[in-house]
Amino acid sequence: MATVIDGKNVAASVIQTVKSATAALEKSSGVTTGLAVIIVGDDPASHAYVGSKGRMAKECGFKSVQHTLPAETRQEELAALVATLNADPSIHGILVQLPLPKPLASEPIIQSILPEKDVDGLSVVNAGKLATGDLKTGLVSCTPAGAMVFVRRTHGEDLSGLNAVVIGRSNLFGKPMAQLLLNANATVTMAHSRTKNLAEVCRNADILVAAVGRPEMVKADWVKPGATVIDVGINRVPAPDRGEGKTRLVGDVAFAEVSAVASTITPVPGGVGPMTIAMLMANTVIAAHRAAGQTPPQF
């Protein structure tokens, strides 16, 4: 039976490091780490996310600022707010909660955030730094950064000689995850919906990362015995056993059957999910250290 990674536990240890680093930075240079979150409109799910990010930022000892804008905010008003935050030295991280309500265009807004304050790791500059192996000055997208913490804690810093397969090639997760694995010396295959013999490709993986958004697609016979399986999928499926109209969360991996084959596996929920906000806090304290000319903590 596989070892199940407790994402909440690992996230809590990341947050502990963030708190210590935040306090040490304030003590050594008088700098309070600052995170600004912008939310536009009244989508309940977005407000719930932003609320939890704000609470976590305060818990970490950050200066936490939230800008709540009406749904009818114009593109130039949003751009002006980002420009103001870019120019504010007390703000080290800027986060725009996505999706933005129509007709606002998110891409120009995301790209207008200074790369050194782009704690979501979504700017083309940070994507380019990751692609060229520059982890010293870039910021990495939070979910792949969190998944990589699991990989490092399981296999160590150097993945030489290990085969990694990432299913999914999104800019948000698949591509940065593949780059992180490559930078750690793994031999990486990127698989996706057009890959032939996908199950066969997956069976070659010592580290298998699934991020496609298809409920329980990865079956036990796709997995090499003893592999590490990281499940990034979050899918709602009907759960009639819980009552009419009820649903439950499942990943992209058929957890019960794959657990019998893999050596290490992440659950859904409770695996990669909790790491996303933790790594957002990590990126913010890293950005604050760099802005103060200090050596940032390692995660």
- Distances in Å between the Cα of 257 and the Cα atoms of 27, 162, 218, 223, 262 are 50, 23, 10, 10, 9
Q: Is 170 annotated as a binding residue?
A: yes
- Distances in Å between the Cα of 166 and the Cα atoms of 7, 34, 63, 75 are 19, 34, 36, 36
The amino acid occupying position 34 is G
pLDDT in tens, 182-204: 999 999 999 998 999 999 999 99
Which residue in 117, 118, 120, 175 is the catalytic one? Answer: 120
pLDDT in tens, 247-274: 999 999 999 999 999 999 999 999 999 9
Look at residue 21 and tell me whether its pLDDT is greater than 90. yes
Q: Is the dihedral of CA 128, 134, 138, 140 positive or negative?
A: positive
Q: Is 152 annotated as a binding residue?
A: no
Q: Which range is least confidently modeled, 16-20, 23-27, 159-163, 168-172?
A: 168-172
Q: Is 168 annotated as a binding residue?
A: yes
Please calculate the CA angle 256-184-278 and round it to the nearest 5 degrees: 60
Look at residue 245 and tell me whether its pLDDT is greater than 90. no
**Which one, of 173, 81, 165, 86, lies nearest residue 127 by Cα?**
173
Which residue in 97, 118, 129, 231 is the catalytic one? Answer: 97
**Which one, of 118, 121, 68, 129, lies nearest residue 93 by Cα?**
118
The pLDDT assigned to 58 comes to 97
Which residue in 6, 19, 42, 53 is the catalytic one? Answer: 53
Look at residue 51 and tell me whether its pLDDT is greater than 90. yes
List, in order of start, the domains of the chain with CATH numbers: 30-116 (3.40.50.10860), 142-274 (3.40.50.720)
Regarding pTM above 0.75, the answer is yes
What are the structure tokens assigned to 100, written together? Answer: 């933005």
Look at residue 34 and tell me whether its pLDDT is greater than 90. yes
How many residues make up the chain in this entry?
A: 299
97 is catalytic: yes
- pLDDT confidence bin for 124, thresholds 50/70/90: very high
Q: Is 7 annotated as a binding residue?
A: no
The pLDDT assigned to 233 comes to 95
Report the alpha-carbon distance of residue 74 to residue 153 in Å, rounded.
Answer: 45
53 is catalytic: yes
Report the alpha-carbon distance of residue 284 to residue 44 in Å, rounded.
Answer: 25
Look at residue 1 and tell me whether its pLDDT is greater than 90. no
120 is catalytic: yes
